Amino acid sequence: MTGRAVYFTGPRSVEVRTEPVSDPEPNEVLVLTERSGVSPGTEMLVYRDEVSSELATDETIQALDGTFSYPLQYGYAAVGRVRAVGDAVDEAWLDRRVFAFNPHESHFRADPEALIPTTLTPEQALFIPNVETAVNFVMDARPRIGARVVVFGQGPVGLLTTALLAEFPLGELITVDYHGSRRALSESLGADRSVAPDELDAALGAGADVTFELSGNPEALSEAIDATGYAGEVVVGSWYGTKDVTLDLGETYHRSHVRIRSSQVSRVDPDHADRWDKDRRLDVVRSWLHDNDLSALLTHEFDVERAPDAYRLLDERQNEAVQIAFRYGAD
């Protein structure tokens, strides 16, 4: 049996390779992938060669154990069915649908402890990592009742953060994005207003209490700081890779008492660690996904053989796509 795997082979170069599929080891299962989600943030950094080749891909995920040097497999949103189990694994795992933080490939072997069983559809389950990221951002921000909140960037993670924030009793929720289609989606998910960057000053009035910078655009961080009011907080969820960030931290910033906070999903912030761990956070994610239809965010599906086309779309015509998924035919 052979499978297919997506490899980043150089700047703006992607290949789909055919590889043999081996039986699981005694303590493993073999998963046949149904869908995998493409991250338009991190994966585009890899695609454009905007990540240091010496950086570890992710020290907290078993399936991502290398560095960002070409060629590499990457991706972290795979949904599939268990098709075979090792001799030491309970046969109850057979045919179970699971989510895995795994690269784009049609088959993969995994330790069952690294898998998340799910009753969600593949199209819904592939949002697990992005919803977990959004939950982490909101947890770190701790929005208060009546707060004025601004979210820069309405890609998948920005839109999901907006949807979560819309459930809070905020005073105002404004989102910012260049693309009109994403602004419309943002308002459908609960934003009071969604504006282009050059419209924010007129829309906001007083400074925001909390601002999220989720656009992936280094220039937006300075704009997020400027949009934040006295003693407010900027939560930075963007990863800019190797792109430089230039900030004006002059008199206005110096006297503003604005706090800039990093938020990243791989680990639970120590501020929450006495009550929260990743399992509890994932319980919140799965519960929220069961209650919310995200089909409007899944704008494109490609057969995995067309992976190069999918990355070109995200690279060249970002306004046309929000969430892209790869499909895998059953063997």
- pLDDT, one tens digit per residue, over 131-166 is 999 999 999 999 999 999 999 999 999 999 999 999
pLDDT given at position 126: 97
The β-bridge partners of 302 are 326
pLDDT of residue 59: 63
Tens digit of each residue's pLDDT (9 = 90 or more) over 275-329: 999 999 999 999 999 999 999 999 999 999 999 999 999 999 988 999 999 999 7
pLDDT above 80: residue 122: yes
b (16+ CB within 10 A) / e for 256-286? bebebeebebeebeeeeeeeeeeeebbeebb
Structurally, what CATH architecture does the domain formed by 131-262 represent? 3-Layer(aba) Sandwich (3.40)
Task: Spell out where the chain has E strands.
Answer: 2-10, 13-20, 29-38, 78-85, 97-100, 107-110, 116-117, 148-152, 172-176, 193-195, 208-213, 228-236, 259-262, 298-303, 323-327
Residue 46 near residue 95, CB atoms below 8 Å: no
Average pLDDT on 239-250 reads 88
- The CATH architecture of the domain made up of 2-127+294-327 is Alpha-Beta Complex (3.90)
| Percent of the chain predicted with pLDDT > 70 | 98
Residues 206-235 have a mean pLDDT of 95
- Average pLDDT value for the chain: 94
Q: How confident is the model at residue 57 (pLDDT cuts 50, 70, 90)?
A: confident
Domain ranges of the chain: 2-127+294-327, 131-262
> Range with the lowest mean pLDDT among 40-44, 258-262, 268-272?
268-272
In tens, the pLDDT along 181-197 reads 999 999 999 999 999 99
Higher pLDDT, 66 or 18: 18
Q: How far is CA 191 from the centre of its chain?
A: 19
Percent of the chain with pLDDT over 90: 85
Distance of CA 279 to the CA centre of its chain: 18
Q: For residue 269, is pLDDT > 90?
A: no
Outline where the chain has alpha helix (H): 42-47, 122-125, 128-141, 156-165, 180-188, 200-204, 218-227, 251-254, 278-291, 307-316
pLDDT of residue 331: 44
